[in-house]
Amino acid sequence: MSPDPLPADDATLHALVHSIEEARQPLLRLAQGLAREAVCKADVLACELAELTGAGYTAVYRFEDDGSPVLSAAHGVEEAAAEAEDLARRAPAADGGGVAVPLTADGICLGAIVALRAGGPFRIDEELVAAVAELAASVLAADERIAESRAEARRDAVTGLGNRRAFDERSAAALDAAAAGAGSASLLLLDADGFKDVNDRRGHTEGDEVLREIGRVLARSVRPEDGVYRLGGDEFAILVAGRRAAAMRVGDRVRRALRTHRRAQLPTVSGGIAVAPIDARTVGDLVRKADAALYAAKAAGRDRILVYEADRTFSTIAAGPAGAKAQLRALVVDDDRGLRELVRTILEGAGVEVDEATTARRARERVAESTPDVVVLDLGLPDDDGLALCRELKETQPALSVLVLTGREATSDARAAGADAFLRKPFGPLELIDVVEELAGGESPSRATRSEPAPGARQSQLLARDLRSLLELERGQRLMLQRAYRQTVSALAAALESKDTSTEAHSKRVQRYALRLAAEVDPLLAEDPSIEYGFLLHDVGKIGIPDRVLLKPGPLTRPERRLMETHTVLGEQLLSDVEILQGEGLQIVRSHHERWDGGGYPDGLEGRDIPLAARVFAIADTLDAITSDRPYRETAPWSSAVAEIATHAGTQFDPAIVRAFERCEPALREIYVSLAA
């Protein structure tokens, strides 16, 4: 039997009964909503808390490490936001028209929920809000534990980078986006050169530290939108947002950073690049093609990055350049660790691949596994006589070259055992290299049998002697090369000056500005020797522009403008074979008229697809253009140039580089004043 209806004029009692009857439904919705994964639980919590309590405004806050509340979700009129935040800071608190209860789980305060009444005779039920907070806190804490577990499952234990699982998920999403027309994604696979030797010679503990340091270098070398992963062993992957040029720039930064690393001696890396969707439309295909390019980089001599070429088969790429000379292989047999490391260091410096054995038994196994070109053999072995091993090797493999190292008079014995050559300890590094190369080439060593160290000479003295000789030779060659480069640049600059008398002074000024700005943006970029020449020769393509267009005092017509814009491509073609300009330097010449918003030329590149050095140069070029005379206008004040550059941040210029410009503007002004003096 239904209860008697309530008096219609008793609105207060009617509202109370209605609230009781409806209370079960929001509680059920709250529990169901918090149990779902694909929802914003803070939104569900704020909305259902308002339904449960009849509050006019509800809010969910999460606390920062310093205890300050950060709004996650809210429901109701925004005017109450300030009052709610103040109440959240004091949680637990009840202040007349509102209640704030902390979200606490396992003794940790995650945040707070706040309910402010909407007016009327009813107060917010503190116990109800507390019950909701307890339920919500347990769910949110469980979610955090799940999230941490998922993150841990996708993190490499050694380096802290993403692991193979994280890579597979991120690369699949990147390829889906590329297939949908959201731009290109590049995969840069990297392999640490000679890392096996690090583990063999320094131990796995130190090897792991080297991997961690490589991981730190990679993480510092990429942009925020790129991802770095360790796939296993010494193999790393970088997912780069953009095309091949973007991936090459990341690879160049990585290689420079590894070379200039000061805290540890890190190995070089070889790399391969493939691009989606141009080269591949599946993750597996993208990895295979990047790996093929990586293998080609290894075969071509290591310490380089190659791009996958679609018109070449995997086998052709893996074979490396046609006619490439095979790397010499040497087996060093000696139980003295110090001597083995000395010989290894000398021979690897000459491009020889080195394997080691500490006993005669191990040497036999190594030769049986893979025959080297040369065996470098010490006579004093712990398990057998070195001469006996020499005799055995020559009898079983007559074509195998054996070089004997000895500290005693053993010339006749070594010859009787079949040794092809011997060196008496101590020996000079250059002598060792000469003998190994001659033996591997099938020649009769010219110096091996007459290596006679000076009386009382030590190994360190011979090392110092040869090092001095090498340094003198290298210094002379470097000076000759630098002189040749400067002569080339001077000739090109002179040719350009002959067409436009203002260009030489402009080139020198803008070079100074750009180098200083580059140092502010990225010190590693400023250390790239190619950018100095790229900054100086950025306009060299104007040599091919007719004088009637180049020297025209008034505005250019549309056809004249198109012709003038070809100078960037002409300049790149003119300098494409100059070794010192390869990389960022050549990219400056081609891309220094690109714009951040994509409205530049010649390629219409946008944002970070524009080479970094070219983005730096664009600001330096504008600075000089405004503050110096041009055929079509007079000099403007320095302040006008600074204001103009700031105005075009985000349209013509990279905003981050504009901020760097503002930081070093006083130093740039000093350059301006000194050049004007």
What does 181-245 look like in DSSP terms, one character per residue? Answer: TS--EEEEEEEETTHHHHHHHH-HHHHHHHHHHHHHHHHHHS-TT-EEEEEETTEEEEEEES-HH
DSSP-based three-state secondary structure for 304: coil
The candidate with the shortest Cα–Cα distance to 122, out of 186, 56, 184, is 56
State the Cα–Cα distance between residues 124 and 210, nearest whole angstrom: 60
CB 408 within 8 A of CB 391: no
CB 225 within 8 A of CB 250: no
User: What residues form DSSP beta bridges with 272?
Assistant: 189, 306
Of 125, 156, 191, 234, which one is the catalytic site residue?
Answer: 234
Q: Where are the beta strands (DSSP E) in 304-453?
A: 305-307, 329-333, 353-357, 374-378, 401-406, 421-424
What does 156-198 look like in DSSP terms, one character per residue? Answer: -TTT-SB-HHHHHHHHHHHHHHHHTTS--EEEEEEEETTHHHH
CA angle, residues 467, 471, 477, in degrees to nearest 5: 145
266-303 CB burial, b ≥16 within 10 A, e <16: bbebbbbbbbbbebbeebeebbebbbbbbbbbbbeebb
CB 414 within 8 A of CB 376: no
Tell me, what amino acid is at 252? D
| Cβ-proximal residues to 555 (8 Å cutoff; 6+ apart), any chain | 632
Q: Where are the beta strands (DSSP E) in 400-530?
A: 401-406, 421-424
Tell me, what amino acid is at 531? I
Q: Is 624 a catalytic residue?
A: no
Dmax (CA) of the chain:
127
CB 115 within 8 A of CB 58: yes
Q: What are the contacts of 542-546 at 24+ separation with CB within 8 A?
A: 542/496, 542/499, 542/500, 542/503, 542/567, 542/570, 542/571, 543/492, 543/495, 543/496, 543/499, 543/570, 543/574, 544/570, 544/574, 545/499, 545/570
State the Cα–Cα distance between residues 224 and 230, nearest whole angstrom: 17
CB 578 within 8 A of CB 572: no
325: how many CB neighbours lie within 10 A of its CB? 8
Catalytic residue IDs: 234
